[in-house]
A and B are shown apart, each in its own frame.
Chain A
Amino acid sequence: MNTILTVSNLTKKFGPLVAVNNLSFTIEKGNVYGILGPNGSGKSTTLGIVLNVVNRTAGEFSWFNGATTTHDALKKVGAIIERPNFYPYMTALQNLKLVCKIKEVPTAKIAEKLELVGLLDRKDSKFKTYSLGMKQRLAIASALLNDPEILILDEPTNGLDPQGIHQIREIIKKIASQGTTILLASHLLDEVEKVCSHVVILQKGVKLYAGSVDQMLASFGFFELRTSQEQNLITYLEKDVRFSSIKNEDGLITAYPKEDLSAEELNKTLYEKGIILSHLSKRKESLEEQFLTLTKNAKN
């Protein structure tokens, strides 16, 4: 496996406040990672540390298995942190040329990347004349100039209008589909759910979970059922050992299986028992539900 970033036992204290507490995770090439957590859970601090702008209190991190120094490794990384930061008095083109100089890459790709984010026709406008959405898109173009091994995005849709959010998400999906490793920090769960395959969940600087989205909870999803023979169904389900709990909300019956059970199989069994369903759907818990469960468990 190709490890891009290894973080081990990372800790950051701001005075008495522990922003990141003994955090460890690894980022492998080719996956799309989400760092999830409520505001103030240490997401940005963690990214700040690996990006060389925040000093760590304890612990280690290494880029590309420690083959290069951090600032050289960062030349192979594209990152956008919170707010797009450029020289306001310079045009988009001048700003990107400066970034090329810093990253030591040729300026040949500037036009291509501006095209990707739809800013090519505004390349000679000063950065200060840009709207927030355009600034954010310029930041993405800038982060892609070196065709990075990994793209790090911290709250990329913060403060944007719905159209801007949509544009940014489309760009992220496009980049992800090209096989670029992405690390996305966000507190917007649907955002992460839509693009990420793996998540790291933080709360108050402590890691609650790290792994693939699918395995986040050892859960087999749940069934939503509707029938005119409500009582029969409930009685049957309560007897069936394959189910752990049943909920009835205004005729919509939610059943949680204890083992892997397919919708076809359940439908067949119920039909044989003479229970005809008018509605059957098998669903996975949304990331939001899983996240809330996890953070609630951690609090108890």
Chain B
Amino acid sequence: MIRLLQIEFIKLWNNRASKFLIFAYFTLILCMALIAMIRIDRPPIVFNIADQGIFNFPYIWHLNTWIASWLKLFFAIVIVSMTANEYSNKTIKQNLIDGLSKKEFLMSKFLMVISFSILSTIFVFLVSLILGLLYSDFNEISIIFSDLSYFLGYFVKLVGFFSLCLFLGLLVKRSAFALGFLILWWGIFENLIIRFSAWWLFGKEGSEKVMHFMPLEAMSNLIVEPITKFKAVKSISTQLGANLSIDYAVHWYNILIVLGWTTIFIYLSYALLKKRDL
């Protein structure tokens, strides 16, 4: 297993573009701390975002995992191009000839996905922990370590999304097309075709239910947007008469759905690898 990870690491780390993207990814997560710096100090308007309670435990876990999950696109590009380039450089052929089995080839990529997701989860946790310790109004241990389920959601979300990218890279074999395909899938396939055909067939509620099972929708359901949960936004919306009752928690069935898709994507990738002549 270590050997497979090392193999993938050599491929990844010697590529300047991927190294840059990975650096950019972690730097941007670090930059979340900069949000704390936003302050308007011009009386009568004195506004400091850090004082607005967005860094309060456990809200910060939700907010930061949600923000950080947008950045997953950076590593998605890395995964897609690394997989697709194996085909365009024909290095996958050479890897197999050199004695890597098809299963090992896929496993080395998947292990990289898992390790990167673990790393990212830990990193987001540490950054949020430090921010929270600096700015949170509540510092009791029991509060700090509540709602950690967002990190499980975050981790599963990354693994699921990267597995989809891995599969698309293998399927399409061209990185630009694979990324285009990803956007098409999200925009056209999931959000237009499936959503509206389900709407037409089963009505509004039925459509919601069906959408729950779509891969990208399920991934985004893992961590629901935290903006409306924020008390300032909440009070404004209550004043406007909108009664927002959104379930913000990370649900086990969403985790199961995403893990299910992950298994499907990895299995399909393996079937594809096995079937194809190179």
Contact = CB atoms under 8 A, between A and B. Distances in A.
A218 interface: no
A81 B3 CA distance: 25
B177 to A, nearest CB: 20
Interface in B91-110: 91, 93-102, 104
Contacts of A52: 96-97, 101-102
Nearest to B104: A71
Interface in A119-170: 142
A51 B14 contact: no
Given A48-B277, A53-B277, A104-B3, A90 B98 contact: no
Interface of B is mostly: helix
A55 interface: yes
A89 interface: yes
Interface stretch (B5-13, B52-60, B221-229, B240-248): B5-13
A74 B91 contact: no
A74 B98 contact: yes
Contact of A85 (B11, B93, B102, B275): B93
B277 A71 contact: no
A165 to B, nearest CB: 22
Contact of A81 (B14, B93, B101): B93
Nearest to A105: B99
Contact of B90 (A71, A85, A94): A85
Interface of A is mostly: mixed
Given A72-B99, A79-B97, A103-B99, A87 B11 contact: yes
A54 B98 contact: no
Interface residues of B, number: 26
Contact of B14 (A48, A55, A72, A87): A87
A273 interface: no
Interface of B: 3, 6-7, 10-11, 14-16, 89-91, 93-102, 104, 274-275, 277-278
30 contacts: A48-B278, A51-B96, A51-B97, A52-B96, A53-B278, A54-B278, A55-B277, A70-B101, A71-B100, A74-B97, A75-B98, A75-B99, A77-B97, A77-B99, A81-B93, A81-B94, A85-B89, A85-B91, A85-B93, A86-B94, A89-B14, A97-B10, A101-B3, A101-B6, A101-B7, A101-B10, A103-B98, A103-B99, A104-B3, A142-B98
Q: Which 7 A-B pairs have the closest CB atoms?
A: A75-B99, A71-B101, A74-B99, A85-B94, A85-B90, A53-B278, A102-B98
Given A74-B97, A90-B14, 8 more contacts: A48-B278, A51-B97, A72-B99, A85-B89, A85-B93, A85-B94, A86-B91, A89-B14
